[in-house]
Amino acid sequence: MTIGEALKQTRKSMKLSQTEMAGDVLSTSYYSKIERGLNDIQTQDLIDLLKQHGLQASIFLERIENEDSENDLAHKNLIWQKQLEDAYYHQQIERLEDLKIEIGKYKNQSQNIFNLYALVVFSIASLKKQIDQISENIKRQVRQIVFDSDEWSESTLQIFAMTMMIYAPEDMDFLINSIFRTYRHNVSNLSGRLQERDCQEVCVNNLSR
């Protein structure tokens, strides 16, 4: 997010016009071009602009930095998902090991990243036939993710489909019934191809257990 975009977002949240936002610091036309990325804003002008609306420049800039970081991580997550699918499909264990290290650096920054990390761990263990060597801590966290989920989202379905072997039979019955209750009467809940595929994988794995 640019400073101009952040200023526009801030202005709209305060329900101000561009003229009101610019105030006595900048002309309306100059300020308008800042929002559109056509003009830069001097540091002191930015400080004065925010100050006249009771805003602190440090907090404003920190919010931009945090949002950029979150957007960057979300982008990485999408790339990692595709790389994971490709590596698992082609049984590229070395590539999966690299992904495990790379994603592991960020696994505590969001639930989605941890879910992806867990999928990598289970993918490697599955290909190596070493499920029993996965740490109990990872297994416990994965079970908690699944049981604490309010709905069967794409992420939850993916992680459950990959980790079905770590649940007790009575837990499996409960979780399978929960999935059926979620989707049986409303197929439209399957909002994407991945969710449909994951539901199919859950069913197949359940029949073969």
Tens-digit pLDDT profile for residues 151-166 = 777 667 777 887 888 8
How many residues belong to the chain?
A: 209
Highest mean pLDDT among 4-13, 17-26, 169-178, 192-201: 17-26
> Structure pTM?
0.56
Which percentage of the chain shows pLDDT scores above 90? Answer: 28
Tens-digit pLDDT profile for residues 14-25 = 889 999 999 999
Tens-digit pLDDT profile for residues 47-85 = 999 999 988 888 888 878 777 676 777 778 878 888 888
Q: What is the CATH number of domain 3-55?
A: 1.10.260.40
Confidence band, pLDDT 50/70/90 cuts, at residue 7:
very high
CA distance 205 to 189: 21
Tens-digit pLDDT profile for residues 199-208 = 555 554 554 5
Helix 57-89, helix 43-51: angle, nearest 10: 110
The confidence score (pLDDT) of residue 99 equals: 94
Residue 4 neighbours by CB distance under 10 Å: 19
Close Cβ partners of 90 (under 8 Å, ≥ 6 residues apart): none
The domain ranges of the chain are 3-55, 73-134, 135-209
Segment 13-36 shows an average pLDDT of: 93
Residue 170 neighbours by CB distance under 10 Å: 8
Nearest to 56 by CA among 65, 66, 47: 47
Alpha helices for the chain (secondary structure H)? 3-13, 18-22, 28-35, 43-51, 57-89, 93-104, 111-128, 136-148, 154-162, 169-183, 193-208
